[in-house]
Amino acid sequence: MKDRHFMLKTTCGIATGMLTMGFMTTAVATEPCGDFGECKTLIEFNATDGDIGFHFLVDGDDLNSIRLHDPDGVKVFQDMAKGPLSEQKLTETFAESAEPLCYDPILDEDPENDDEDFVTLEEFLERWAAGTYVFTGSADEGEKLEGETELTYELPAAPDLTSGSFGFDGSVISWGSGVDLGACASEAELTTLVEMEILPIHPRDVVVDAFEIVFEPDVEDGDPLGQLKFTIRVAGDIATKAVTVPADYLASLPADTLIKVEVGAIGGEDNASFTEIFDICINEDEGCEEEDDEEED
């Protein structure tokens, strides 16, 4: 999952119904975590690309070191301030694992590709056990710090952006409820994992606390136009799954701009599943497809 927008922490505050435009990091931890100001562990899916990652955040004042232990007591991460940083200290630390591609054992054969790491959802969950993850660390005067957070397997289904569920009429984005995890796990595979008691609940039945919608130009990395993003988070129980993109924002984009839309379902202790759709042409003049054809020629 490259360039995720699910927020453990944001550079700008975001609340239900608010919008921001600009850089967003991943995830929102909101509760104190023992001796730390906040902490969080979570699982995140890109249902379109078919990848899966483990994310975590911890925050505190004037930290010298930070460690994370899984429910079995195994240390899975350590960060330590050295050199000039040991004088200035650490505060917030956010990290995410590499994100292997998923495959569904019901639908797909085990991929043979030396260039990519593939896992089933079951294999991924074997790596990251549900339960209590413990953050420890040391502060400026040598104080020992500790805090706990829970990782759950309540994985919300990825929003449905297929034909008939997704819509964009020039200003309003709409989507449907999902029933699976896209390329990572089909509805049938998830049912099997529930029957095996690996998952406590089917993703289609996980309560969605919030939806996050990102509307952004689909450009190459490094293109300044890519920073002009519209992002909004709305309550998961909204009656109509739709949001309006501001007219002023749309008017600020050049003619014939290709857009990517990303919709994320957030729930189950901040676990998140995102679905993307590409090649939406806005502010049409000569037409986005004509420009693409010219580039290919």
pLDDT, residue 2, reads: 43
pLDDT at 6 over 50: no
Confidence at 8, pLDDT banded by 50, 70, 90: very low
pLDDT, residue 251, reads: 95
The pLDDT mean for the chain works out to: 86
Look at 3-12, 51-60, 118-127 and tell me which has the smallest mean pLDDT: 3-12
Look at 5-9, 60-64, 254-258 and tell me which has the smallest mean pLDDT: 5-9
pLDDT, residue 96, reads: 92
Confidence at 268, pLDDT banded by 50, 70, 90: confident
pLDDT, residue 160, reads: 97
* Residue 208 DSSP one-character state: P
% pLDDT > 70, the chain: 84
Tokens 């008691």 correspond to 197
DSSP H or E stretch at residue 84: helix 84-88
pLDDT, residue 113, reads: 64
pLDDT, residue 107, reads: 77
pLDDT at 70 over 80: yes
pLDDT per residue over 72-131, tens digit each? 999 999 999 889 988 889 888 999 998 989 988 887 766 666 567 789 999 999 999 999
Mind giving me the DSSP string for 239-292?
Answer: SS-EEEPPHHHHHHSPSSEEEEEEEEEEETTTEEEEEEEEEEEES-SS-HHHHH
Tokens 């509760």 correspond to 31
pLDDT at 277 over 50: yes
Q: Tell me how many degrees the CA angle 207-211-216 measures, rounded to the nearest 5.
A: 155
Ordered domains of the chain (ranges, CATH): 7-18+26-151 (2.60.40), 167-296 (2.60.40.10)
Cα–Cα distance between 1 and 222 in angstroms, integer?
17
pLDDT, residue 3, reads: 45
CA-closest candidate to residue 183, choices 104, 73, 257, 82: 104
Does residue 140 contact residue 62 with C-beta atoms inside 8 Å?
yes
pLDDT, residue 23, reads: 32
Overall average pLDDT of the 220-238 stretch: 93
pLDDT per residue over 155-190, tens digit each? 999 999 998 999 999 999 999 999 999 989 999 999
